[in-house]
Chains A and B, each alone.
Chain A
Amino acid sequence: MIIFDVVDRAGNLQKVEVPEEINLNLMEVLKASEYPILATCGGMALCATCQVEVAQGLENLPSPTDVELDMLDQLPKATPQSRLACQIKINENLNGAVFHLAAE
């Protein structure tokens, strides 16, 4: 199991457990866990509605690709901890990470 924490917009923390061999990205897992993420663009790094702040474990994630950086660079509320959940593949790098859903 891969286990990480998700903090919703109201500040509630919940552990999320995902099987290791799952072939999904973080946005898909958050949606499947009923978090209110619009994911308007379906995971193409084009809408930023899946923005998360990585409070812990950022250093374990692969760096953002160009498409993700292009989007993050345009957003008013992005910080160096901001990522797009749809661009984060679920794998063991995520163990112990803490993700905050960004404000809508």
Chain B
Amino acid sequence: MITTDICIIGAGPVGLFSVFEAGLLKMRCHLVDVLPQIGGQLSEIYPKKPIYDIPGFPEIKAEELIENLYQQILPFKPTFSLGERVDKLSRTEDGGFLLTTSDQTEIKAKVIVIAGGLGCFEPRKPELQRLEHFEGKGVVYMVKDPEKFRGKKLIIAGGGDSALDWSIYLTEIAEQVTLVHRNESFRGAPDSTEKVFDLAKAGRLNLLLNSNLHALNGNGVLKSVDIMNKQGELKKVEADYMIPLFGLSPKLGPISEWGLNIDKNAIEVNTFDYSTNVPGIFAIGDINTYPGKLKLILCGFHEAALMAQSAFKFVYPNQKLSFKYTTVNGVNAF
């Protein structure tokens, strides 16, 4: 069980900056994100793109902004659960909250800050009958622990860099790797592409180009996958695991089940302090909505600052808050 003052759901730029604003008011934070890395959309969708509307930075690459935010919050010793989705949120008897993640991690907090952006990043899924039936029973969307695939027969589907990179890596571990791709060439990094073709030539990788996943077979657990080529010919490939790697895309996810007022996939908030209809739960950044809302990083930062003022009353109900500039006291690390 992790115990903290504030649990922040989402480690995008707005979740990260909240740690700083909370830290100035002596509140400790734990962050949870379903992605294995911090940074939200900036890390997942556009790490190398320059951003031009961050105050004080005429131009900054998305990944650099995230690194800077990380450095900025380090004095406040945030803790993280990455690669885990927050599934459940319930109240505790002392008026706080208990969160449970997809890995059954439990987090107890006095305040919840939802900085969930456009929602949980989830894998794009192929269109296959009975796909759900095989999820967790042979179909996996993420390689968390490569050792799980030792000596197994794998099918990897996809044409992007992650499909190429994992295919190369897993040929060392698995008994057999089949890579299925719709087109006849790859647009990923030239090095990886060359490596994949070399492995295929050497007979160490079963490369099926111009082919699509067609059907999943097995009684309870995955046994084999039917793969169809452009000519319409079917091939049955035995498999213990199939790993579709078609990138990630955000979906609102479990946030919709927590009793919050939601309008068009966003949480309604009071602009006084970005509180939701549930006392003690705040929503900031892309995930919230209010008249005039703009989905911009700088707006999320502002929301984080106001949120922290109100969150203080839940964490230190008997203390009075006096507003101070950082120039007065500096940053007092924990």
Q: Which 3 A-B pairs have the closest CB atoms?
A: A74-B160, A76-B126, A76-B246
Chain B interface residue count: which class? Answer: 20 to 34
B126 close to A73 (CB less than 8 A): no
Chain B residues lying within 8 Å of A38, measured Cβ to Cβ, are: 118
Asked if B313 CB lies within 8 Å of chain A CBs, one says no
Q: Which of A66, A69, A73 has the most CB of B within 10 A?
A: A73
A55-70 CB contact bits vs B (8 Å, 1 = yes)? 0000000000010011
Count how many chain A residues have C-beta atoms less than 8 Å from C-beta atoms of the other chain. Answer: 17
Asked if B78 CB lies within 8 Å of chain A CBs, one says no
Q: Given the known A-B contacts A40-B45, A69-B187, A75-B124, are A47 and B246 also in contact in the complex, defined by CB atoms under 8 Å?
A: no
Q: Given the known A-B contacts A40-B45, A44-B46, are A74 and B249 also in contact in the complex, defined by CB atoms under 8 Å?
A: no
Chain B residues lying within 8 Å of A47, measured Cβ to Cβ, are: 45, 249
Asked if B182 CB lies within 8 Å of chain A CBs, one says yes
| Chain A residue nearest to B45 in the complex (CB) | A46
Chain A residues proximal to chain B, CB less than 8 Å: 38, 40-41, 44, 46-49, 66, 69-70, 73-78
**Contacts beyond the supplied A46-B45, A74-B158, A74-B159: 12 A-B pairs with Cβ under 8 Å:** A40-B41, A44-B46, A48-B124, A73-B159, A73-B160, A74-B160, A74-B247, A75-B246, A75-B247, A76-B124, A76-B157, A76-B246
Asked if B244 CB lies within 8 Å of chain A CBs, one says yes
Chain B residues proximal to chain A, CB less than 8 Å: 41, 45-46, 49, 118, 124-127, 157-160, 182-183, 186-187, 244, 246-247, 249-250
Q: Given the known A-B contacts A49-B249, A73-B159, are A78 and B45 also in contact in the complex, defined by CB atoms under 8 Å?
A: no
Q: Which of A46, A66, A75 has the most CB of B within 10 A?
A: A75
CB distance from A67 to the nearest CB of B (A): 10
Q: Given the known A-B contacts A40-B45, A47-B45, are A73 and B124 also in contact in the complex, defined by CB atoms under 8 Å?
A: no
| Chain A residue nearest to B123 in the complex (CB) | A76
A76 close to B127 (CB less than 8 A): yes
